[in-house]
Amino acid sequence: MKYLLYTLSILFVEYSCNAQDKNTVAQVSNLPAKTNNTSSQYGPNSIVRTIKQDRKGNIWLASWEGVFRYNGKSFTNVTNKVSSARFFSVLEDKKGNFWFASIGSGVYYYDGKSFRNFTSKDGLASDRVTTIYEDRFGYIWFGTDNGVSRYNGNSFQNFKMNKGTVLNTADSVHVSIYKQQLPENHTMHNDVDAIVEDQSGKLWFGTRAYAYVYDGKKFKVITNNEGKPFANVRSIIKDKKGNIWLGGYDGLWCYDGHTFSNFSKTFVGYIYEDKEGNILTSSESAFKKSWILSRYSKESLSNKKPTITEIANKAMIFGILEDDKRNIWFGSLDGVYVYGGRTITNFKAE
């Protein structure tokens, strides 16, 4: 059964959320609060794609209602008066400034006081940006549906995996699963969802088609031990040991610098490494009707059958974060949730 994204109409439907840690069932609770024009104890009620914690401890959420900052007490919609675009990603760069990726409005740079908007008119590859990454040299990379853009502080340099053209009618929430090999000029080769730099300085890119590695001169399709490309790669991370993890249509894979190991066959949307070295993923359930937030135990990652704990079950699960208090945050179709070890809390307005 092919993986299918749910239609936008289910954004307004409330889903139940069950979580398990061994035999403990997590209870979902709303946090009551009064709202005002600037801040609220309620978070977004729509899709939350990315969750990050900054150096000051604030939690940042990229959502379809804007970019929210949570200071531990209340949420502030930082982009409320700047843009009505849907936001997909957040990055705090090495200088402490923020970058917000949007669908349709390009990228917003925020220094804590004012905004600057970069679009295709400024040289960005596309105004539909889904991911942001900063490399070891301080260059900011933007993954778009028309390739990647590298910003050096003054201008953009754009790269394409191949000659494919942008699919103007597509959205970054569309179905793109392929069992057969895609033509080299297919638009999905340039629809970038993930970027990471490995220990050697090479950049890995996950696209709606395949995964690529860039050595500074050319792009090369990444293949597994059997020579098969990784399809529809949604997430790539580098763990503390330098291993590269890939998640997508072909499941969860790990590259140790020599060989690839497979840990799951089900579709994986997001990958995250916690402070202990456990690997967390959001993946399609075996029944194809929901998504599961799972934790792969660090001690068992060297085994062919690792110990896996299911933390939460939702209609969809997006970005994942472990905060400085060891709570696990994750985004869904209807907002953001926090798992504290026994219970799950949401921040939705009733």
Assign residue 320 the CATH number of its domain: 2.130.10.10
Total-model pTM: 0.84
Q: How confident is the model at residue 153 (pLDDT cuts 50, 70, 90)?
A: very high
Q: What is the domain extent for residue 158?
A: 8-346
- The angle formed by the CA atoms of residues 331, 334 and 335, to the nearest 5 degrees, is 45
Whether 1 is in a domain gets the answer no
Residue 16 lies in a domain: yes
Buried/exposed code over 309-348 (b: 16+ C-beta within 10 A; e: otherwise): eebbbbbbbbbbbbbeeeebbbbbbbbbbbbeeeebbbbb
Q: Tell whether 66 is covered by a domain.
A: yes
Residues contacting residue 76 through CB under 8 Å, at least 6 positions apart: 38, 39, 68, 69, 70
Per the domain annotation, does 225 fall within a domain? yes
Q: Round the CA-based radius of gyration of the chain to a whole number and report it.
A: 19
The CA-CA-CA angle for residues 314, 316, 321, to 5°, reads 85
Q: Give me the pLDDT at residue 296, please.
A: 96
Structural domain count, the chain:
1
Q: Confidence class of residue 350 from pLDDT cuts 50, 70 and 90?
A: low
Specify the pLDDT at position 333: 94
pLDDT at 32 over 70: no
Strand extents, DSSP E, 265-323: 268-273, 279-284, 291-296, 308-314, 317-322
Per the listing, tokens 């472990």 go with 322
Tell me what percent of the residues of the chain surpass a pLDDT of 70: 82
140 pLDDT exceeds 60? yes
Angle at 238 between CA 86 and CA 106, to 5 degrees: 20
Measure Cα distances from 328 to 10, 280, 281 in Å. 24, 10, 12
Whether 2 maps to a domain, the answer reads no
In this structure, the number of other CB atoms found within 10 A of the CB of residue 179 comes to 7
Whether 3 is covered by a domain: the verdict is no
Summarize the confidence of residues 182-205 as an average pLDDT.
86
DSSP annotation of 38 reads: S
Condensed to tens digits (0 to 9), the pLDDT of residues 84-111 reads 999 999 999 999 999 999 999 999 999 9
